[in-house]
Chains A and B, each alone.
Chain A
């Protein structure tokens, strides 16, 4: 059975933030694992047909996840997420940046700050994510760098999904 649990999405233009709320119908233990363990992250972080391959992960305060976003043609875009403020099964923050395969950050490309909160309620889990950008215009580069063709081709379908889920 396919879950259609609603995603709330709002944009705070003034503070350059995007807020997302999404429900997952499993307990928090599983959701937390999926967000913090590389073998699971590899399975969902990239929108298909893109793939994610982890080079290294050290999920602790001050640690980071180094991974490649791989295009259908095999082109690799390296990213890293620096983890901070971890409260297990409740909350963590991360700084997302583009880098090379050794994790050296490219400061010319946009960075984003992510705060993820996990709240279990009646055996399902709500994830509240706040993504803060230095400039909202960074979204353009992020979408282009990470997802290009594969993502664009999927857009038509997504437009349909938006129509069916109403406007938020």
Chain B
């Protein structure tokens, strides 16, 4: 199965990596230093995030820096906004139903 952005944020370590990188670009080593888990484990998470396009890598000299791909991050936001729209619409319809009930009471 193709890895997607939603699987990516399901994991707390990956969410932490994303918030670290939200502030600035970092090398794999400096990212790993922020976690208690092994360097290898952190590296796996980074690769997961790269595979689903949430992170981009950039070479500067001999070092690789990772940074966030903001476009991809917006996908999650999109679903949240759609759900919000759904509730808005539902509640607007509920307003209509309630207005009718109120009218019947009078």
Interface residue ranges, A against B (CB under 8 Å): 2-3, 5, 7, 9, 11, 13-14, 18, 20, 22, 24-26, 30-31, 33-34, 40, 43-48, 135-137, 139-140, 142-143, 146-147, 151, 154-155, 158-159, 161-162
| Bound complex: CA A20 to CA B9 (Å) | 22
List the B residue with the shortest CB-CB distance to A33. B101
List the B residue with the shortest CB-CB distance to A138. B6
Chain A proximity of B7: nearest CB distance (Å): 7
Residues of chain B with a CB closer than 8 A to A9's CB:
84, 87
B-side interface size class: 20 to 34
| Bound complex: CA A92 to CA B71 (Å) | 39
Residues of chain B with a CB closer than 8 A to A20's CB:
87
Chain B proximity of A117: nearest CB distance (Å): 15
Select B88's contact among A3, A43, A161, beta carbons within 8 Å: A161
| Bound complex: CA A130 to CA B93 (Å) | 20
Whether A136 contacts B90 in the complex (CB less than 8 A), given A26-B101, A30-B98, comes out as no
Chain B proximity of A25: nearest CB distance (Å): 8
Of B23-31, B34-42, B57-65, B75-83, which binds chain A? B75-83
Q: Can you name 15 A-B residue pairings with CB atoms under 8 Å?
A: A7-B91, A9-B87, A24-B91, A30-B101, A34-B94, A44-B96, A47-B89, A135-B10, A136-B76, A137-B79, A139-B82, A140-B79, A154-B85, A155-B85, A159-B85
